[in-house]
């Protein structure tokens, strides 16, 4: 699916950059093919606008921030968070023309990231209950560009049958390729999928899983939030919770920004941040390698029938149906190339 051609996708929230990184100055980002600039306003809240000065089209991300307004590094034209030009140094005593403005975007801070919607959002940012629960600690894990599509990553996130092959070097059981069955429940924001997956438990995972047994299992309470956010809710028999949130933020038709953070119901002494990142890094690298070997244009074809008798593909098929329905509702029923 070519995300830049789906106008409805502009009406969702996407995680972009860490808010704390904006203290160093404005940052560029590309969202759905559109270059944007992010910065902190006078209240310390993230703001977003098109990354082009309306004067000579210089990138505002090459400028700086003064009193919460972004200053163009070319001629000093200055804009507030609404995109209105508030200062033209070359003509300080003249009225600023009404057309001196840039396009601004919806932007708020949530879960430590600046979330942006290019147009009026259809839905709010998902509520992640663990973030407000003192029993969990939040761990930032990965922030990197992948050469694949957001839909590909979302489908892969619910594909149990790839564990035995892609992840055979760590937790996947190569001799058990039959995927565990999902119980899938549709919701008004996507679906949730529950299953129990037996896994290998190598020594480097002992403190992650909370057991030294050679094998254990994951009780998964996964969720998909339209269009490109997922929750990996993993409960181990030891009582340890390993809950990951992924935002497959669409950069353009062939790439995404992986934004991933983790919640754990244990302490740093139980399993350190470094151990948790190292364990998940191996898994993420394997997923990235195989997904970047696929066609990023994951066309939505709901006429395909092979998935109907393949348990592991049920979530992906349901995802395509719901995404197709949303696009059709917004007047974009044609989603093929």
Q: Is residue 50 part of a domain?
A: yes
User: Within this chain, do residues 98 and 201 fall inside the same structural domain, yes or no?
Assistant: no
Q: How far is it between the farthest Cα atoms of the chain?
A: 77
Domain boundary, last residue among 58, 92, 117: 117
Contact status, residue 200 vs residue 171, Cβ threshold 8 Å: yes
Number of structural domains found in the chain: 2
**Whole-number pLDDT of residue 175:** 79
State the CATH number of the domain containing residue 61.
2.102.10.10
Residue 186 CB burial class (10 angstroms; 0-12, 13-18, ≥19): exposed
Range of the domain at 249: 129-329
Does 122 fall in a domain? no
Q: Are residues 98 and 193 in the same domain?
A: no
**pLDDT recorded at residue 94:** 84
d(CA 217, CA 200): 8
- 59 located within any domain: yes
Q: Residue 308: what pLDDT?
A: 44
From residue 25, give the alpha-carbon distance in Å to each of 65, 90, 273.
6, 24, 27
What is the reported pLDDT for 313?
Answer: 65
Q: Look up tokens 């003192």; give the residue.
A: 134
Is the same domain home to 108 and 134? no
- Same-domain pairing of 111 and 212: no
Task: Mark whether 112 and 196 lie in a shared domain.
Answer: no
Closest CA to 191 of 152, 158, 217, 153: 158
- Same domain for 259 and 193: yes
User: What is the rounded distance in angstroms from the CA atom of residue 270 to the CA atom of residue 237?
Assistant: 16
Same domain assignment for residues 280 and 137: yes
What was the pLDDT predicted at 299? 59
Cβ of 26: how many Cβ atoms within 10 Å? 22
Each residue of 237-286: pLDDT tens digit?
999 999 999 999 999 999 999 999 999 999 999 999 999 999 999 999 99
Residue 57 lies in a domain: yes
Give, for all 337 residues of the chain, the pLDDT tens digit.
789 999 999 999 999 999 999 999 999 999 999 999 999 999 999 999 999 999 989 999 999 999 999 999 999 999 999 999 999 999 888 888 888 999 999 999 999 999 999 999 999 999 999 999 999 999 999 999 999 999 999 999 888 888 888 998 888 778 777 777 889 999 989 999 999 999 999 999 999 999 999 999 999 999 999 999 999 999 999 999 999 999 999 999 999 999 999 999 999 999 999 999 999 999 999 999 999 998 887 655 555 544 444 555 677 778 877 887 888 888 764 444 4
**For the whole model, what pTM was predicted?**
0.90
Last residue of a domain, one of 117, 148, 173: 117
CATH of the domain at 323: 3.90.380.10
The closest of 273, 270, 272, 249 to 259, measured between CA atoms, is: 249
The bridge status of strand 34-40 relative to strand 27-31 is antiparallel
25 DSSP 8-state letter: S
Residue 3 lies in a domain: no
Task: Please give the pLDDT value at position 328.
Answer: 81
The answer to whether residue 145 sits within a structural domain is yes
Residue 2 lies in a domain: no
Residues 251 and 186 placed together within one structural domain of the fold: yes
Q: Is residue 155 part of a domain?
A: yes
Q: Which of 186, 121, 197 is nearest to 164 (CA)?
A: 197
Among 86, 117, 148, the domain-final residue is 117
79 and 41 inside one domain: yes
- Report the candidate in 89, 87, 85, 81 with the shortest Cα–Cα distance to residue 98: 85
- In three-state secondary structure terms, 320 is helix
CB 244 within 8 A of CB 232: yes
**Token pair of 329 as six digits:** 């509702």
User: What integer pLDDT is reported at residue 335 of this predicted model?
Assistant: 46
The residues, any chain, with a CB within 8 Å of residue 220's CB and separated by 6 or more, are 193, 194, 195, 196, 197, 232, 233, 234, 235
- Taking the CA atoms of residue 300, residue 306, residue 311 and residue 312 in that order, the dihedral angle to the nearest 10 degrees is -50
Are residues 302 and 200 part of one domain? yes
Looking at the structure, tell me whether residues 112 and 135 fall in a common domain.
no
Percent of the chain as helix, strand, coil, to the nearest 5:
25, 35, 40
CB 314 within 8 Å of CB 182: yes
Residues 95 and 208 in one domain: no
């Amino acid at each position: 699916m070519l995300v830049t051609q789906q106008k409805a996708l502009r009406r969702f929230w996407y995680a972009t950059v860490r808010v704390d990184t904006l203290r160093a100055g404005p940052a560029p980002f590309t969202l759905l093919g559109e270059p944007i600039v992010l910065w902190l306003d006078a209240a310390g809240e993230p703001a977003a606008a098109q990354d082009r000065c309306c004067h000579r089209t210089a990138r505002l991300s090459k400028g700086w921030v003064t009193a919460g307004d972004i200053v163009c590094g070319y001629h000093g034209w200055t804009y507030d968070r609404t995109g209105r030009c508030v200062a033209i140094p070359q003509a300080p005593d003249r009225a600023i023309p009404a057309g001196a403005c840039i396009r601004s975007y919806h932007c708020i801070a949530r879960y430590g990231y600046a979330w942006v919607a290019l147009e009026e959002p259809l839905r709010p940012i998902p509520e992640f209950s663990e973030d407000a629960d003192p029993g969990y600690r939040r761990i930032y894990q990965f922030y990197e560009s992948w050469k694949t599509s957001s839909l590909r990553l979302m489908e892969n996130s619910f594909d149990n049958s790839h564990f035995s092959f892609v992840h055979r070097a760590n937790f996947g059981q190569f001799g058990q390729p039959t995927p565990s069955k999902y119980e899938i429940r549709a919701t008004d924001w996507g679906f949730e999928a529950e299953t129990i997956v037996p896994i290998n438990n190598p020594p480097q995972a002992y403190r992650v899983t909370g057991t030294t047994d050679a094998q254990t299992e994951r009780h998964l309470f996964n969720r998909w939030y339209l269009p490109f956010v997922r929750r990996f809710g993993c409960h181990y028999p030891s009582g340890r919770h390993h809950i990951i949130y992924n935002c497959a933020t669409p950069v353009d038709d062939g790439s995404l920004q992986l934004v991933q953070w983790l919640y754990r119901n244990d302490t740093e002494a139980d399993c350190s941040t470094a151990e948790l990142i190292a364990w998940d890094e191996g898994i993420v690298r394997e997923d990235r390698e195989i997904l970047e070997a696929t066609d990023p244009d994951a066309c939505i074809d709901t006429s395909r029938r092979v998935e109907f008798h393949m348990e592991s593909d049920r979530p992906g098929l349901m995802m395509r149906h719901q995404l197709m329905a949303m696009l059709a509702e917004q007047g974009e029923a044609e989603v093929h190339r």
